[in-house]
Structure 1
């Protein structure tokens, strides 16, 4: 039931509907589960009465905070999670109770019979307001509702401000958006005294999830097993989830398997969206366009508990400084508790958000100085072999080539002669290929290669394929190292009891971290198998697809597997290799070299704005990427296309509408995401060149492909209408208002 790739059958299974996601898996005696959620943003729980729910025939478990362990736990260092709300609920959707019953209908009937008496409390929904002494304190131990306060400075910003001859900036606002994964959140949990908890769940960090879930119940980690079936998308939503824990708690109580599957409404009202940010950003430059400082203050809305929002704040405050030489930088990050649903990461991970502001300001400086925006960027960008302000070592960097290439692709020189209400906007992006700070204890990956009795070569990894094509890429890496076809490679992952430990799929780490491990294991596998052939036949032979040729005889891998088992007490030929990068854990000032390598991109968007309605139409999009060696071209192009489409939705239409903590548009009908008619022709070019730290020279592509999109579209809109927006998304209403007001700021 775990994720398996065997080229090309996995893709065929998805196309024909044969792929088994969590919802498609059932166990004998399984029950349905459901959660009772708070209707209040902030309230005291006076009393809970579950008597009537327990009396319903077919109901096997009803749980509240009184029935489960009350241990401090959480996926980060901020241990503010509970299994159920205890004395207070902190957001609309907070988990108050749960039911396991014979059917979904009985679950809903039982949930309705649980009587909860609430006493309303004052609430706060805005991050900046949460810092006020007048706002309710959600966690008594957390001063000012601020669990994280980041402050850093490189150089001397105040002195640099005196040298700046032009200063531009403003307040930029990032909207909460839903990840929009095709497969809603789901879990199947089974408890036994012998095995502990077994959980089938879509998590792309299953080992970190195992650690968190074990802590919730006070269990050792080896009493929690997580099996990851194929995942129908995530984009950051499916890391570590309370729903998984509650399904496990119900199974422990009922002594039977429990399956929980959210419908789209529950998925959205309990969603943990992209972290909303308010960013006060200012950049200063000399009259000839050289940047002299960047100054940033960020207010981030964590919601009612901490998921991965601290990482978003740290990234927003630092990572864009890996593109430009600002020379002096200062950042303050305020992560604040509010009575909203907890927020988490989404593709781009804080970097795309801040680049929306940075790239917008750079265009404003270019306009004021009458310098071509592309040229202004070229004057200030980083280059190969440099070390950035925060310590990133750029052993490869083709950012200048990206700018040149995307200008040619988009025919940039026509920018000043476009028809009225049409605009071209350019923006740059960067990212990481893994990040040392994600887990300070370990930063690497392990791969196992084994020769199966069938003659197939199996790759096992702890990294997770969530639909991005990771397994196909690993098959190609192993095949390339072995000199055979990827048709002979099976890739398996997604079982904490069977496969190697892995940090998981986040921070764009999979291709480089896991890929390096696969390449190392494949090289060792070939050495070991060649030595075995020499032992048998006096020569290593020549590898040819599914055979090793010795003289005139071709020995199939299946035949060799049988011979190896015969001579090794039935054991398979197996190797295990671990890749540990020479990265640096950032220090308390966020200085260090946290990634093996760093990808870059330059994007250009072309838009047309309807002055009567404010509607923004994308006419064209061009993307030039430095992602090192491209291992899987179809997959890489698809990643860029998908990221651009996702960015178009984010920038022009998508937003979870919240009113006092309540999601007002919890359906795909009301929450509009882009369709085929909203996506223009997207042209992609890769500036190839080997990076010394990636498998065959590769760098990541999945997140850097989104990072420039908000800035490129925002700059194109500003170029088209002569006014600049500062708050995403640029809906028709917002753009129309912008067109009809005197001051865009």
Structure 2
């Protein structure tokens, strides 16, 4: 077996040994350094741009303005509001105006300093609700009232539900901007040739969608754009499609050399594409027995100055949580709003975690009013296996009731009534998807190629992307179980639109189920073909099992099988390609449909201790119970949950990307507080396993559902500890302290 197949670049051992080469580690002969001149204004008219002095700087190879570039409208969603560089107006602080490529970083910086831009400042709008008001500055002239998208969802008889309600709780809740906090900086390397077109090395986990977007921006056919994905040093939603990629490509086209742009942390954070901040007006009604009879929601989402993946966040907010409970009737209105803030995008949880912060908080308030145990209230209203939910999700498997009972047991939920002052236990539940049909209505499956190498090793190629979540290890394990060979004999390859099969990419928690099903199909087909090959060579009595051909007690290795095949097929390797197409339904215009092959569920309990003198919250215990079907790789699955708990602790208790009048006020890792080891509680993770019929080896997803309940669980624990409900994330020490003063 080759040494190459023993260690993939995505392997932990390679990372620990410093052998993994991230984008920052890649360099090409003659490579130039790229830099971007950005707007200092949140909203301004560009009166003039003078780059003549910048062009004269020694070592400068290219200086570009909008006049030098195509002017196609493009973007990653149906809202085509991107440009390559700003021409007439800038719409946020950090908007890209001039691009420079030079021999050195110093030369590029010197050229930036010599760019002269004359601005006419314009009034800005920074609050999404204000942006919808008459007379608000209009960011995009073709979009009325700064509202690129409105979602309206209605099921059942809302007015009848209101008449039945004995208890009504709700209020205005806020979820904030959160910086994804990836260790690897944002960047790209690009090259151009007349024959091949654009090649971009970029840590994107949706490279095929990025290829489509970037080709449209330059007016090129897709086969003239190639995206190569190096190992990704963290993303959590930040590294889908980015303007820095196309700017590097534009500079490479102009200079006819490789151009590398790596943003420093300050530049990244002032132009960061953080979690979409949301304002929720929510109301839930229950009858006297605690049965939910309606839920009503209005949400305002801040897209910033242009659209990235915020539309999908809004549609998720308006629908996903409705599929956990039997609400009776629901009505949701969602507004996506342009503002003069830096554009926002998705982050782990994709709107579901934000919505559940509000929903789970309100449910606890209902339980308090009814003098009912919050766990029992949830058990009275949750969905069950075999149900079809309000919006059409078909639940072939659902063990949410078992999750709640188990997390009560593990956490000692019975202690809740006897905890000392300023200690609290909070519960929250969650659902998610394993891929989502509406992410790309044209196709939502996955393709895998599996190949028998000459030395007997197996290669698997996929269009899905490894970004540290353990996808490659999961795919290797799926193939190894089917073929009966060690995982170490399987090398999983991905991340090159010019070499590997098409894939939607790693988003919507789709990689395990979508890509895993394709790998499973390919491995099963390979096993069947190897059995045929064994019989063709050895006779009808031969078989293939446990990674070898077998006849009358004699075994023949995979390398021997590879030789037999090559001898019969002109030296070609045995290769099989399979595509998995899920049995899902695209949600209709009313958002009704069955968009995922299966749905994971979770129940979490957090225990907190609040210091009444400072308001500081310490999460001192955490219990997470998950229904994610068959767990393929338990170590990696637990790692996903523990990482999500850490992210949730940071989000709820400290993290906040502060923006005032469009300006990021804490653009450094020193000022943007993220949790460290001492902030983490002792956490216990438990999986209620059961084979789902639609997942590979029976699996469902876990990556995002692991975070979804965390904000609600911690918020409910704080409310239990203090008697004060927090309505705006983060529930920082200052906010908690102020709430305690208002007795």
TM-score range, shorter chain: over 0.9
Q: How does 1:262-281 map to 2 (within 5 A)?
A: 262-281=263-282
Question: Hey, what's the Cα distance between the residues in 2 that align with 1:634 and 1:199?
Answer: 34
Q: CA deviation at 1:32?
A: 0.5
Q: Deviations over 1:367-410 (max 9, x none)?
A: 11100000000000000111111110101000000000000000
Question: Hey, what's the Cα distance between the residues in 2 that align with 1:24 and 1:450?
Answer: 30
2:421 match: 420
Q: CA deviation at 1:454?
A: 2.3
Question: Hey, what's the Cα distance between the residues in 1 that align with 2:113 and 2:10?
Answer: 45
Give aligned pairs, total: 740
Question: Hey, what's the Cα distance between the residues in 2 that align with 1:539 and 1:241?
Answer: 56
Question: Hey, what's the Cα distance between the residues in 2 that align with 1:145 and 1:69?
Answer: 25
2:302 match: 301
1:31 match: 32
Question: Hey, what's the Cα distance between the residues in 2 that align with 1:159 and 1:692?
Answer: 38
2:140 match: 139
Q: Deviations over 1:511-569 (max 9, x none)?
A: 00000000000000011111111111115756576643433543222232122112101
Q: How does 1:359-374 map to 2 (within 5 A)?
A: 359-374=360-375
Q: Deviations over 1:471-518 (max 9, x none)?
A: 000000011111221111110000001100000000000000000000
**SS of aligned partner of 1:437:** helix
Question: Hey, what's the Cα distance between the residues in 2 that align with 1:586 and 1:547?
Answer: 45
Q: Check the 8 A contact 1:7/1:487 in 2, yes or no.
A: no
1:81 match: 82
Q: CA deviation at 1:208?
A: 0.3
Q: How does 1:314-713 map to 2 (within 5 A)?
A: 314-539=315-540, 541=542, 547-713=548-714
Question: Hey, what's the Cα distance between the residues in 1 that align with 2:293 and 2:337?
Answer: 30
**SS of aligned partner of 2:319:** helix
Question: Hey, what's the Cα distance between the residues in 1 that align with 2:243 and 2:739?
Answer: 41
Structure 2 residues not aligned, in runs of 5+ = none
1:59 match: 60
Question: Hey, what's the Cα distance between the residues in 2 that align with 1:41 and 1:551?
Answer: 77
Question: Hey, what's the Cα distance between the residues in 1 that align with 2:293 and 2:545?
Answer: 58
**SS of aligned partner of 2:318:** helix
1:148 match: 149
Q: Check the 8 A contact 1:547/1:554 in 2, yes or no.
A: yes
Q: Deviations over 1:5-38 (max 9, x none)?
A: 8469821110111100111111111100011110
Question: Hey, what's the Cα distance between the residues in 2 that align with 1:554 and 1:192?
Answer: 51
**SS of aligned partner of 1:607:** strand
Question: Hey, what's the Cα distance between the residues in 2 that align with 1:543 and 1:407?
Answer: 47
**SS of aligned partner of 1:293:** strand
Q: Check the 8 A contact 1:71/1:82 in 2, yes or no.
A: yes
**SS of aligned partner of 2:100:** strand
Q: Check the 8 A contact 1:484/1:544 in 2, yes or no.
A: no
**SS of aligned partner of 1:118:** strand
**SS of aligned partner of 2:567:** helix
Q: CA deviation at 1:151?
A: 1.1
Q: Check the 8 A contact 1:485/1:545 in 2, yes or no.
A: no
Question: Hey, what's the Cα distance between the residues in 1 that align with 2:463 and 2:333?
Answer: 35
2:101 match: 100
Q: Deviations over 1:301-334 (max 9, x none)?
A: 0000000001000000100011000010000001
Question: Hey, what's the Cα distance between the residues in 2 that align with 1:434 and 1:625?
Answer: 18
**SS of aligned partner of 2:126:** coil
Question: Hey, what's the Cα distance between the residues in 1 that align with 2:338 and 2:601?
Answer: 33
Question: Hey, what's the Cα distance between the residues in 2 that align with 1:702 and 1:552?
Answer: 44
Question: Hey, what's the Cα distance between the residues in 1 that align with 2:621 and 2:724?
Answer: 21
1:418–1:239 Cα change, 3 Å: same
Q: Deviations over 1:417-445 (max 9, x none)?
A: 00110000000000000000000000100
Question: Hey, what's the Cα distance between the residues in 1 that align with 2:479 and 2:545?
Answer: 14
1:336–1:540 Cα change, 3 Å: farther
Question: Hey, what's the Cα distance between the residues in 1 that align with 2:496 and 2:596?
Answer: 26
Question: Hey, what's the Cα distance between the residues in 2 that align with 1:65 and 1:514?
Answer: 40
Q: Is 1:242 paired with 2:259?
A: no
Q: Check the 8 A contact 1:146/1:334 in 2, yes or no.
A: yes
Q: Check the 8 A contact 2:9/2:19 in 1, yes or no.
A: no
TM, length-normalised to structure 1: 0.98
Question: Hey, what's the Cα distance between the residues in 1 that align with 2:341 and 2:100?
Answer: 24
CA RMSD of aligned residues (A): 1.3
Question: Hey, what's the Cα distance between the residues in 2 that align with 1:510 and 1:728?
Answer: 30
Question: Hey, what's the Cα distance between the residues in 2 that align with 1:238 and 1:549?
Answer: 47
Question: Hey, what's the Cα distance between the residues in 2 that align with 1:250 and 1:179?
Answer: 27
Q: Is 1:290 paired with 2:291?
A: yes
Q: Deviations over 1:97-156 (max 9, x none)?
A: 110000111111111111000000000000011011121111111111001011121011
1:312 match: 313
1:129–1:619 Cα change, 3 Å: same
Structure 1 residues not aligned, in runs of 5+ = none
**SS of aligned partner of 1:233:** coil
Question: Hey, what's the Cα distance between the residues in 2 that align with 1:305 and 1:5?
Answer: 44
Q: Check the 8 A contact 1:276/1:300 in 2, yes or no.
A: yes
Question: Hey, what's the Cα distance between the residues in 1 that align with 2:491 and 2:141?
Answer: 52
**SS of aligned partner of 1:425:** strand
Q: Check the 8 A contact 1:5/1:471 in 2, yes or no.
A: no
Q: Deviations over 1:31-50 (max 9, x none)?
A: 00011110000000000000
Question: Hey, what's the Cα distance between the residues in 1 that align with 2:6 and 2:485?
Answer: 17
Q: Deviations over 1:165-195 (max 9, x none)?
A: 1100000001101000111111110101111
Q: Check the 8 A contact 2:624/2:686 in 1, yes or no.
A: yes
